[in-house]
Structure 1
Amino acid sequence: MALLQASKYFFTKHPLIANCMVYGSLYVGAELSQQTIMKKFLSKIPQDIDKPTLGRYAVMGTFIYSPILFNWYKWLDRTFPGTTRKIIVRKLLLDQFILTPILLVLFYTGMSLMEMQKHPFDECQKKFLSTFQRSCVFWLPAQTINFLIVPPQFRVVYMGFASFLWVNILCYIKRQKLTVQKSN
């Protein structure tokens, strides 16, 4: 019970830091679960966990996505208070068609830059549309729950848990090789 009270106090006094810690941990956890399955269970020869990749996911989840989400939902809830059908639809559309494209571009280009890719925008150009389409299928129902049920102070934490599932999808897409087109 003391741990629960301490957590509640920390979320009340330091909501951004608390949300960043939880979201970042879940974001890294998704990549770790992917690597564990791929490298330990599905690989014929068990491989080591790729710690630099975990580090990149930690940076992305903790220092890039978390503050953006924290401030986005704070703004969204302040600008469109309530849970009427009209408000929920407005929040869903803004979230899916304004924020999501930005986050996907940040994900692909940010990861490519941290990986020191020679052409950091290539992966984003090739994977953006299919990823965005998948995100619509996943996030529209997830965000409906978020906006209808989840109290505002726990939106980023909820997003962390939902993102744990989503990042597993992103990790899978990220692992797909880019096809190189030859020009004649």
Structure 2
Amino acid sequence: MRKAFLRHVRRFPWVTNVTLYGCLFAGGDFVHQWFSRREKMDWSQTRNVAVVAFSFHGNFNFFWMRFLERRFPGNSYRMVLRKLLLDQTTAAPLATSVFYTGVSFLEGKEDIMEDWREKFLNTYKTGLMFWPFMQFVNFALVPLYVRTTFTGCCAFIWATFLCFSRQSGDGTMHTGTNNLLYYNLTVFY
């Protein structure tokens, strides 16, 4: 099964990577809602997260990983650190901004920048505890043709946090709540 999957990824890299990334990101919202023990699942929220993930995050990551590899080829320590620095200073702020504003736009909020203004800086700083390690592994060990998928697996955890932060947090891991989601996310840090 693994060989068939990898053959499919090599044959259709863009479609496979973007689809998996989008599904994993939307799955993060589903897990957030499940851990939040909501009375009823808000499928429109999951849809909005999925639309942002499919239309921007998956595509952006697919082409971003290729750009970084072309600009800084190889997995030497020096090249990995260059990719990592560029990723954390360029892609991370952009992706976080698109998440907050994109989901707010799809929800029809009057001020789509509200969540971004309130949570961006805290979310970015929280991401600096998670993403550099994940992307270091990604750039150093993962073949280019599955890097977006690997990032999607990491983004599953990150999307769960983002959805939690958007609904009831302030963009940090320290929101003062003692729920199961908070506990599970701190295990990964």
Q: What TM-score comes out, normalization by structure 1 length?
A: 0.88
Check if 1:81 corresponds to 2:79: no
Q: Structure 1, residues 23-63: CA drift from partner, whole Å, max 9, x if none?
A: 111111111111111125xxxxxx11111011011111122
2:61 aligns with 69
Map of 1:117 onto structure 2: 109
Distance 2:169 2:25 in 1: 22
Counterparts of 2:85 and 2:31, CA distance in 1: 31
2:47 matches 1:55 = yes
Question: CA offset at residue 14 of structure 1?
Answer: 1.3
What does residue 162 of structure 2 align with?
A: 170
- Count of paired positions: 170
Which 4+ runs in 1 deviate beyond 6 A?
A: none
Distance 1:22 1:65 in 2: 11
Amino acid at match of 2:150: Y
Alpha-carbon shift at residue 120 of structure 1 (Å): 0.5
2:33 maps to 1:29: no
Distance in 1 between residues matched to 2:17 and 2:137, nearest whole Å: 19
Mind listing any 5+ residue stretches in structure 1 that lack a counterpart? Answer: 41-46, 179-184
Question: Scaled by the length of structure 2, what TM-score is found?
Answer: 0.85
Does residue 153 (structure 1) correspond to residue 151 (structure 2)? The answer is no
Identity of aligned residues (%): 29
Gaps of 5+ in 2: 171-189
Question: 2:86 is aligned with what amino acid?
Answer: L
SS at structure 1 position matched to 2:73: coil
**Secondary structure class of the residue paired with 2:128:** helix
Instruction: Name the SS for the 1:39 alignment partner.
Output: coil
Q: Distance in 1 between matches of 2:66 and 2:6?
A: 18
